[in-house]
Chains A and B, each alone.
Chain A
Amino acid sequence: MHENPVAEPGNGECSMTAYLVSRLVQMIPTVLLVMLLIFVIFRLIPGDPVQFILGANPHPEAVVALRRQFGLDQPIPVQFIRWLGNVVRGDLGVSYINNQSVLSLILQKLPATLQLAFLAMLLGSAIGIALGLVSALKQDSWTDMLVRIIALFGFCTPRYWLAILLVILFSLTLKWLPSGGYVPLSESVRDNLRHVIVPMTTLALPIAAEQMRFLRSSMLDVIQQDYIRTARAKGLPERTVVMRHALKNALIPFLTIFGLQLGFSLGGSIVVELICAWPGIGWLTIQSIHRRDYAVVQGVVMVSAIGFLIINLLVDVCYTILDPRVRYD
């Protein structure tokens, strides 16, 4: 029998708070290392931001003034501490190109990326869970084999190629959907959805393939457990056994893959956003790299990494809520 860590009445909330606080404290060194890593990576760039801003042959006085303004005349450790302090206050710097705040640029593009990631996760999970369930319940049948082949193909297809294939099929050949672009939801829901179908499907299919493989494996583990045999022996209908007993437990380890995929969808849809001209964070990143606007690239990388860590934390918290066997330590 498994011990329930929240067995005592009134103890659960306290344990959860303590757990959250301890996890947040544990996250601090990782976040600091992430920041250090980002700082080091972007200090590897030959030259400094002043060169990018002032261009070739700048006036020496302007160079000195701007270097002082950005704190680039300080020793590297001091620069890191100052940068860290600014980041903590929400100041991610300004774009070298248009002098706009990096944070505001990211916040402008965030809704498009969030919409794409959310819809892709929704579609991918719906397909992945349904196929994973069917595949596990019909293990070693033709259906199982077919689903596994589809999942393998989905898993091995690079997203950028899939995006191009979907554009060729739906935009160039059938002419059903636009080949790219974005219409805000506030302007037209219908046009927004027409534009989101190709990038959403592109991101959703590999998500579905990975989830299907994971859920199938997880379900095969669960349906061999004693409590499933007991549920069947009690005469419960197969539907209840599968949906209420097996699937519910199989979905718990599935949370890990879900969290990882959500994190990657937020930061990893760069190429798909570029192909589909979807003006999200990925699109902003590529534009900034090509314009050598490293302040923006640095900001995007940092926000994505911190977002990824927060999603991982939330997944761990969900574990403790959904599975009482997971202790708060």
Chain B
Amino acid sequence: MSETTARTLQLAAERVQYPRPSSRWSPLFLLLRKKSALLGLILFLLVILSGVFAPLIAPYDPLKINVRDRLHQPSREHWIGTDELGRDVLSRIIYGARISVSVGVIAITIAIAVGVPLGVLAGFYGGMVDNLVMRSMDALAAFPAVLLALAIVSAMGPSIRNAMIAIGIVYLPAFSRLVRGNVLSVKEKEYVEASRTCGATDFHIMFKTILPNCISPVLVHASLGFANAIIIEAALSFLGLGAQPPSPSWGAMLDQGRVFMTHTVWYSISAGMAIFLSVLGLNLVGDGLRDVLDPRLRGR
């Protein structure tokens, strides 16, 4: 290579402006630019904030019984009326956000903490490990979600803690299958081969090299799974197998509202609306995240 050519190449290389990662194109910025995702985020933040600041926002003690005021229609004192024990429905709904959000967070954390490593191991090692893990996941996935959660909770005993564990187990197969599929494609990439050549251990390759490149779909699925966890928790509480009285769980309130439907419909409608808005918010965020993280699916 002549000196001139070398100099030309050097100058050209200096002129190349590599795009810097700009905050304008960060996933969060792109997510916030999407109106539907922003609406979803606002809805879900409202639910979280009402749970966190429940003692400050709720007009009444959610557990305080006042039998003289039972089953009141909405009024200036009780915006959504009162329940069969005279408790303020609005206050119970605000406090109920704590239960729903904590169940969603803990159940999905359990599913991710167990399902993701299992998926990584199955995808990375293949063969017997893959067969063992995936057949077990197939067995778990063979049950309708509510039925499996119901079976686990009925066996372990009705409580909110057992409901969280049951929902976590229900979502194990979804996360492990998702991650396994991604690991299968990522492990063939050149940078994984390079990492292996540099002497990295299997653990390092699996969890430091491959996993970070498989995490986007997990985030999308976590938000959608969170929404479903809220629905299943409410279903379990509705059936008397989740949060136990007098906890202000949305599902249990919906069940009680159903019993007193002929007296007041606001009780059922408001508890269901709280579940609906949380699920709607999480689904909008999930759809937005999917669009941002996988632009091929945008608008689908």
Q: Are A and B part of the same complex?
A: yes
Residue positions of A touching B, CB distance < 8 A? 29-30, 33-34, 36-38, 41-42, 44-46, 139-140, 152-153, 155-158, 160-161, 164-165, 167-168, 172, 216-217, 220, 263-264, 266-268, 270-271, 274-275, 285-286, 289-290, 294, 297-298, 300-301, 304-306, 308-309
Give the distance in Å from the alpha carbon of A37 to the alpha carbon of B138 in the complex.
11
Report whether A168 and B261 are in contact in the complex, using a CB–CB cutoff of 8 Å. Answer: yes
> Which of B55-63, B122-130, B174-182, B264-272 lies at the binding interface?
B264-272
Report whether B239 and A286 are in contact in the complex, using a CB–CB cutoff of 8 Å. Answer: yes
Query: How many residues in B have their beta carbons less than 8 Å from beta carbons of A?
Result: 45
Report whether A267 and B136 are in contact in the complex, using a CB–CB cutoff of 8 Å. Answer: no
- Given the known inter-chain contacts A156-B283, A165-B269, A268-B147, please indicate yes or no for A30 contacting B300, CB distance below 8 A: no
Known: A33-B138, A164-B272, A263-B144. 20 other contacts (CB 8 A): A41-B155, A44-B155, A152-B284, A156-B227, A156-B279, A156-B283, A158-B235, A160-B235, A164-B257, A164-B268, A168-B269, A172-B261, A220-B300, A264-B145, A267-B143, A268-B146, A300-B147, A301-B148, A304-B143, A305-B143
Count A-B contacts at CB 8 Å.
128
- Given the known inter-chain contacts A38-B151, A172-B265, A268-B145, please indicate yes or no for A158 contacting B279, CB distance below 8 A: yes
A304: B residues at CB distance < 8 A: 143-144, 147
Q: Please, which residue of chain B has its CB at the minimum distance from the CB of A301?
A: B151
Report whether A301 and B147 are in contact in the complex, using a CB–CB cutoff of 8 Å. Answer: yes
Report whether B240 and A290 are in contact in the complex, using a CB–CB cutoff of 8 Å. Answer: yes
Q: Please, which residue of chain A has its CB at the minimum distance from the CB of B157?
A: A46
- Given the known inter-chain contacts A44-B156, A165-B269, please indicate yes or no for A285 contacting B147, CB distance below 8 A: yes
A172: B residues at CB distance < 8 A: 261-262, 265
Within the complex, the shortest CB–CB distance from B46 to chain A, in Å, comes to 15
Report whether B234 and A160 are in contact in the complex, using a CB–CB cutoff of 8 Å. Answer: yes
Interface string of B133-151 (1 = CB under 8 A from A): 0011011101111111011
A286: B residues at CB distance < 8 A: 239
Give the distance in Å from the alpha carbon of A172 to the alpha carbon of B260 in the complex.
12
Instruction: Report if B152 contacts A (CB, 8 A).
Output: yes
- Given the known inter-chain contacts A30-B139, A33-B138, A301-B143, please indicate yes or no for A271 contacting B155, CB distance below 8 A: no
A-B contact pairs, 16 of them (CB 8 A): A30-B142, A42-B155, A157-B279, A158-B235, A160-B254, A161-B254, A164-B257, A165-B272, A267-B147, A268-B146, A270-B146, A270-B239, A271-B238, A274-B239, A300-B147, A304-B143
B261: A residues at CB distance < 8 A: 164, 167-168, 172
Give the distance in Å from the alpha carbon of A295 to the alpha carbon of B222 in the complex.
35
Report whether A168 and B234 are in contact in the complex, using a CB–CB cutoff of 8 Å. Answer: no
B135: A residues at CB distance < 8 A: 29-30, 33
Give the distance in Å from the alpha carbon of A9 to the alpha carbon of B262 in the complex.
67
Q: Which of B234, B269, B272 has the most CB of A within 10 A?
A: B272
Instruction: Report if B241 contacts A (CB, 8 A).
Output: yes
Instruction: Report if B258 contacts A (CB, 8 A).
Output: yes
Instruction: Report if B163 contacts A (CB, 8 A).
Output: no
Q: Please, which residue of chain B has its CB at the minimum distance from the CB of A309?
A: B142
Instruction: Report if B209 contacts A (CB, 8 A).
Output: no
Give the distance in Å from the alpha carbon of A304 to the alpha carbon of B152 in the complex.
15
Instruction: Report if B276 contacts A (CB, 8 A).
Output: yes
Report whether B258 and A164 are in contact in the complex, using a CB–CB cutoff of 8 Å. Answer: yes
Give the distance in Å from the alpha carbon of A146 to the alpha carbon of B66 in the complex.
45
Q: Please, which residue of chain B has its CB at the minimum distance from the CB of A36?
A: B139
B241: A residues at CB distance < 8 A: 289
A33: B residues at CB distance < 8 A: 135-136, 138-139
Q: Please, which residue of chain B has its CB at the minimum distance from the CB of A40?
A: B155
Report whether B300 and A217 are in contact in the complex, using a CB–CB cutoff of 8 Å. Answer: yes
Give the distance in Å from the alpha carbon of A52 to the alpha carbon of B283 in the complex.
43
Give the distance in Å from the alpha carbon of A301 to the alpha carbon of B154 in the complex.
12
Report whether B150 and A285 are in contact in the complex, using a CB–CB cutoff of 8 Å. Answer: yes
A155: B residues at CB distance < 8 A: 283
Residue from the list A140, A270, A308 in contact with B150, Cβ < 8 A: A270
A168: B residues at CB distance < 8 A: 261, 265, 268-269
Considering the complex, which residues of chain B in the window 247-296 have a beta carbon less than 8 Å from any beta carbon of chain A? Answer: 251, 254, 257-258, 261-262, 265, 268-269, 272, 275-276, 279-280, 283-284
Q: Which of B140, B151, B240 has the most CB of A within 10 A?
A: B151
B147: A residues at CB distance < 8 A: 267-268, 270, 285, 300-301, 304
Q: Which of B140, B144, B284 has the most CB of A within 10 A?
A: B144
The 8 closest A-B pairs by CB, nearest first: A161-B272, A33-B139, A267-B144, A268-B144, A217-B300, A156-B280, A44-B155, A156-B279
Report whether A158 and B143 are in contact in the complex, using a CB–CB cutoff of 8 Å. Answer: no
Instruction: Report if B108 contacts A (CB, 8 A).
Output: no
Report whether A308 and B239 are in contact in the complex, using a CB–CB cutoff of 8 Å. Answer: no
Instruction: Report if B231 contacts A (CB, 8 A).
Output: yes
Q: Please, which residue of chain A has its CB at the minimum distance from the CB of B275?
A: A158
Report whether A289 and B142 are in contact in the complex, using a CB–CB cutoff of 8 Å. Answer: no
Report whether B238 and A160 are in contact in the complex, using a CB–CB cutoff of 8 Å. Answer: yes
Report whether A157 and B276 are in contact in the complex, using a CB–CB cutoff of 8 Å. Answer: yes
Give the distance in Å from the alpha carbon of A266 to the alpha carbon of B258 in the complex.
24
Within the complex, the shortest CB–CB distance from B270 to chain A, in Å, comes to 11
Q: Please, which residue of chain A has its CB at the minimum distance from the CB of B255?
A: A160
A157: B residues at CB distance < 8 A: 276, 279
Within the complex, the shortest CB–CB distance from B161 to chain A, in Å, comes to 14
Q: Please, which residue of chain A has its CB at the minimum distance from the CB of B232?
A: A158
Give the distance in Å from the alpha carbon of A266 to the alpha carbon of B262 in the complex.
30
Give the distance in Å from the alpha carbon of A156 to the alpha carbon of B286 in the complex.
12
Within the complex, the shortest CB–CB distance from A192 to chain B, in Å, comes to 23
